[in-house]
Chain A
Amino acid sequence: MENIDQIDQKELMQALEEKRASRRKAMLLGGAALAGMALTRSAFAQTITDADILNFALNLEFLEAQYYTLATTGTTIDVAAGISTKGGDGSAGGSVTVKANPKVNFTDTFTQDFAMEVAMDEQNHVKFLQTNLSTSAVAMPNIDLMNSFNALAQAAGLGSSFDPFASQTNFLLGAFIFEDVGVTAYQGAAPAISSKTYLDKAVGIHNVEAYHAASIRTRIFQAGTSAMQASQMIAMTRAKLDGSNNDDMGVSVDSSGAATIVDADATARTYARTTSQVLSIVYGGGAAGKGGAFFPNALNGTIK
């Protein structure tokens, strides 16, 4: 990761050209995503409840809340914000694997303020889901914020290791890994929610994740070429992990001179991912039910 500039430029530019073309000109990916979602929905209709979907979301919110809280305070959400990691039935919460002293040394307060805002938003999402799930809420699963980033960096060709807590730019790239995925996860799951009330809330959380994603992507744009290139390689890795190879885009300037702050398809609509696609990304390609990467022992709940 220290050597972003040493990425194989030719390979990168080639891949980038493909990505740029993918959004502004080609394709049908939106349709494909919709079709995938329809399948998911009918599968859900058989056995999956709203509580299962909200618990799936709760696992992801635990991950995000821990990341931002550790980056801004150096401590986990139970210590920093008094949030229980136990399940609604009293089952014990899992552990968080992270380096010592993860508090980021932010170089400007504008970024630090935002990191703190996002930390609070993700804490609020955890609390909101826990409250609504009540005794059905799952406990926090084991979360890994150290080996996971190293593995992902290797998969993305960014180097043998990556420490998202090492610098402000690294923090933004670490955040980048999660936020767009959160948007696609909520978007994929929303149509399967049967309660209009929960649908409304899920859409509202989806939007907040999109605000986060946009702000982070705008800051990566401003951070310059190296950060943008890293975001492109992460985006390609996410698309590869979810099996589509074509539903993600990093931050760049396309051939028309337009920025790519928004992670969207040719119809300018953000992508949706099935729960299986999301799991594959957060597991770093690990098998369903077994987990890996950010969730070394899988998610808690029915969808894992």
Chain B
Amino acid sequence: MKKLDELLERRSVSRRKFLAGIGVSAGVAAAGIAGCSSGNSMTNNMTNNTTNSGGGGGTSSSITDADIFNFALNLEYLEAEFYLRAAYGMGLSSSDIGANPGNVTGGSQVNFQSSAVKAYALEIANDEQAHVQFLRKQLGSAAVDRPAIDFTNAFNAAASAAGIGSTFDPFSSDDNFLLGAFVFEDVGVTAYHGAATLLSSSANLAAAAGILGTEAYHAGEIRTLIAQIGGSVLTAATQIQALRASAGGGAETTLSSTTIVNADSSSISYDRTTDQVLHIVYLSPSAGVVSKGGFFPNGLNGTISATAS
């Protein structure tokens, strides 16, 4: 990981000028779908929708729409468990996590001091739960179970890597909750954006676009709230961004009151390859093959779970 100051310096030039360098252009989004050992025999109607990923070094270059939806489902499990635990004190119900779900480590109800922040948390929790339910329904029997998820160690490791401190508990205060949310939200937007053009069915694209829209609303909301708070909270957010940029191929516009939107110099949102998203959620900034770690101690479930590089 590059020195924080160095990364922030690049960011601070703002998205209006910055972009080249570590910014990843849309054109390469299709490359880098990795680790696709397409051994599953999926039984629903998504199975036949395949896309040639254009390389990436995996064992197969052919992924299905179901593979992509399952990739998204893993991320939605992560977000839903985070927000539901923070807002309600309990995670997804047993009917929403599959027959053999992984365990969730950490996460507890936030003692919200602001009724507004609580209202925001409740809404996003409801939304992410709905996304899990929607994707599971679309995937039918092909839906993967919830993978093992770790909040306790992952947030500590992320905070340490970002230079925020040796530990970080996003469930301990309103501000920390917003920062915890910030870790995920822009990433979800870049992940869905990158995946959108890989989907072969326009019906699936339409379905995904609606989830993507909602993730972008969440991201815009969280960024607005953190920029408004400012001070050390805003600084921590920019440190998280530097970590994400380092692990996920740039694709970050440093948050400030004048840069609420995370977008490139054409005011178009970034996208990330599945490899880049995996490097972020596995908290593994270094290049190389990685198949687990960070928020997913046993890796994602499904065919897209390991990076090619």
Contact = CB atoms under 8 A, between A and B. Distances in A.
Contacts, number: 209
Interface in A217-257: 217-219, 221-222, 253, 256-257
A180 to B, nearest CB: 9
A292 to B, nearest CB: 27
A215 B128 CA distance: 19
A256 B124 CA distance: 12
B131 interface: yes
B219 A110 contact: no
A256 to B, nearest CB: 6
A258 B122 contact: yes
Give the secondary structure class of B's interface. Answer: helix
B213 to A, nearest CB: 3
Interface string A77-120: 00000000000000000000000000000000110011011001
- Residue from A204, A205, A206, A256 whose CB has the most chain B CB atoms within 10 Å: A204
B270 to A, nearest CB: 8
Nearest to B257: A113
B262 to A, nearest CB: 7
Contacts of B214: 210, 262, 264, 268-270
A148 to B, nearest CB: 24
A31 B264 CA distance: 33
Nearest to A262: B217
A32 B74 CA distance: 27
B263 A200 contact: no
B258 A116 contact: yes
B223 interface: yes
Interface stretch (A46-54, A121-129, A167-175): A121-129
A58 interface: no
B224 A219 contact: yes
A40 to B, nearest CB: 10
A196 interface: yes
B11 to A, nearest CB: 16
Contact of A204 (B128, B193, B202, B210): B193
Interface in A135-187: 183, 187
Contacts of A199: 196-197, 205
A199 B199 CA distance: 11
Interface string B1-37: 0000000000000001000000000110110000000
A102 B225 CA distance: 28
A7 interface: no
A26 to B, nearest CB: 13
Contacts of A116: 258
Contact of B134 (A114, A125, A221, A267): A267
A207 B203 contact: no
Given A114-B260, A218-B225, A264 B116 contact: no
A272 interface: yes
Given A207-B216, A210-B220, A200 B26 contact: yes
B264 to A, nearest CB: 8
A197 B63 CA distance: 19
Interface of B: 16, 26-27, 29-30, 116, 118-120, 122-123, 125-128, 130-131, 133-134, 189, 193, 196-197, 202-203, 205-207, 209-214, 216-221, 223-225, 227-228, 257-271
A-B CB proximity, top 5 nearest = A269-B210, A270-B213, A214-B220, A210-B216, A204-B268
25 contacts: A110-B228, A113-B258, A117-B259, A117-B260, A190-B209, A191-B209, A196-B197, A200-B26, A204-B263, A205-B268, A207-B189, A207-B212, A207-B216, A208-B263, A210-B217, A257-B118, A259-B119, A261-B217, A262-B214, A264-B210, A266-B130, A269-B131, A270-B209, A270-B210, A270-B217
Given A37-B206, A267-B133, 18 more contacts: A41-B202, A117-B258, A128-B268, A183-B213, A191-B206, A203-B269, A206-B216, A207-B212, A208-B269, A211-B216, A211-B220, A211-B263, A212-B261, A218-B224, A219-B224, A259-B122, A262-B214, A270-B212
